[in-house]
Amino acid sequence: MNLLAPLPPGWSELLRTALEVAATLAFALSGVIAAARQRLDVVGVCVVAFAAAFGGGTLRDLLLDQRPFFWERHIEFVWALLALCLAAMALMRQRHLAPTERAILWPDAIGLGLFTAIGVDLGLAVGMPALAAVMMGVITSCFGGVLRDVLCNLLPSAFSDHRPYALWSFAGGWLHVGLLATGLPPWLVLTTTVVFTAGMRLLSVWRGWALPGWRG
């Protein structure tokens, strides 16, 4: 069996869309949890969730001069986010926050890998050098969380909790660039990038790996 044989038409795009939806909702839910911990009102919850889910992609599109923004092209994502926020405010209570935060670790890690690959792809598509394209991947996957924490008046966890996050996005971005250069099918490059980036993120959390902090 040839593992590199083309997939049925539409299958690759369907896989990418499904992962993108799961990742977007996971990032949005992280925003809902952060807003709930700060006891924000419904407008605050929606704004923070929107920033967490779409902040990285919006900044990427601004830097790449892409119009319309990706969430404008997929307006159904915005409706899903609003529905998620309203449902969370109606159903979630304080005791639900901690288990929900643990439950979204997997889709959050998948989102890290997926949005890294998407950012790198778009950067390369407009002719950016490899390093700049990899940075587009890091921005796409990480900036939403930074913006979420800033809106909640918190030190961004991506900078302060020392668990590798942006580092795995950076490494996954270079892996994506290298695999594309070998001529592998795009679906295989995407899958490998997501598996590597998400797997290393989950492994680092499980094993308690931490980046060294600044020593005075």
Number of domains in the chain: 1
Range of the domain at 153: 16-207
pLDDT averaged over every residue in the chain: 81
Tell me whether residue 5 is in a domain: no
pLDDT for res 216: 62
Asked whether residue 114 is domain-assigned, the answer is: yes
pLDDT at 94: 66
Per-residue pLDDT band for 3 (boundaries 50, 70, 90) equals very low
> Measuring CA to CA, which residue among 92, 88, 17 is closest to residue 49?
88
CB 198 within 8 A of CB 171: no
Residue 215 lies in a domain: no
Q: Look at residue 6 in the predicted model and tell me its pLDDT.
A: 41
> How would residue 4 be classed by pLDDT, with cut points 50, 70 and 90?
very low
pLDDT the model gives residue 5 = 39
SS (H, E, C) the chain: CCCCCCCCCCHHHHHHHHHHHHHHHHHHHHHHHHHHHCCCCHHHHHHHHHHHHHHHHHHHHHHCCCCCCHHHHCHHHHHHHHHHHHHHHHHCCHHHHHHHHHHCHHHHHHHHHHHHHHHHHHHHHCCCCHHHHHHHHHHHHHHHHHHHHHHCCCCCHHHHCCCCCHHHHHHHHHHHHHHHHCCCCHHHHHHHHHHHHHHHHHHHHHHCCCCCCCCC
Q: Give residue-wise pLDDT tens across range 137-192.
A: 999 888 888 888 888 888 787 777 778 888 999 999 999 999 988 988 887 888 89
Residue 6 forms part of a structural domain: no
- Does residue 3 lie within any of the structural domains? no
Residue 138 lies in a domain: yes
Residue 136 domain flag: yes
Instruction: Give domain status of residue 212, yes or no.
Output: no
- Model confidence over 32-58: pLDDT tens digits? 888 888 888 889 889 989 998 888 888
